Structure 1
């Protein structure tokens, strides 16, 4: 009788755990940074930055369809830097030859050929995570910015 009562209690606990898993909210995409994290990095980096696309003004709300991407040519240990380009705008294919690492506010793609061709991977599948939400992406020649 004790075994049956304990088994029933265990079964109820397992079912409750399964139900809570179904109701859980989806996890954020790995490597994608928030707008606040992106802007904080911009404010604190000593990288040499070139801006392309729409101007970034932290005090003005961005358009919902805009994605921000930073891509740089150097990795030093776990830090991405050197000469960086920051893009802010809608869906696009960015020429990004010489890119060693990148960070973005959406799940961008990065490709080993220009024109967003060749072999491409998504930021969410980053194999080597760096500090501040960057991903090590050696050999990147172009970046696919998806619609937001």
Structure 2
């Protein structure tokens, strides 16, 4: 009985202390999908001599096709920045061979995997644990990237 009385008293104190307060949930921080402006800004600031472009060519004068996704993945990280050497892919659904990738960004939610051939343990960009500048995600151990159908 004594325990029950103390428990009820403790519960009353907690309720009284929080009465009148509004509690709102704060969403967890997730990696953002890169906008076209962010993509072009990153391309303007990186040394493109150390960037390999694969897939379709980038045309700044035309919007990205609805079927295409841009993916940027680099083997180097400097502080909170993803830096060259990097690879830029523009195209549709595929599995990208991406050994030694340490950070990536994309115009849509992609999966990054520790196995080659888009196998092994995979995670979504939207659930990135360590966000970097410009919507990039720190992804050490990545060896392949799943580009989903858009």
- Structure 1-normalised TM-score? 0.78
Q: Does 1:117 align with 2:119?
A: yes
| Corresponding position of 1:44 | 45
Alpha-carbon RMSD: 1.4
Q: Which ranges in structure 2 are unaligned for 5 or more consecutive residues? A: 1-21, 23-29
Equivalenced residues, count: 121
Shift of 1:104: 0.2
Alignment of 1:109-148 (within 5 A): 109-148=111-150
Aligned to 2:37, what secondary structure does the other structure show?
A: helix
Shift of 1:82: 2.4
Q: Is the 8 A contact 1:31 1:126 kept in 2?
A: no
Q: Does 1:67 align with 2:84?
A: no
Q: Give the structure with the larger strand fraction.
A: 1
Partner Cα separation in structure 1 for residue 60 and residue 44 of structure 2:
10
Alignment of 1:1-148 (within 5 A): 30-46=31-47, 48-148=50-150
- Structure 2-normalised TM-score? 0.77
Q: Is the 8 A contact 1:71 1:99 kept in 2?
A: yes
Shift of 1:77: 1.0
Larger Rg: 2
Aligned to 1:73, what secondary structure does the other structure show?
A: strand
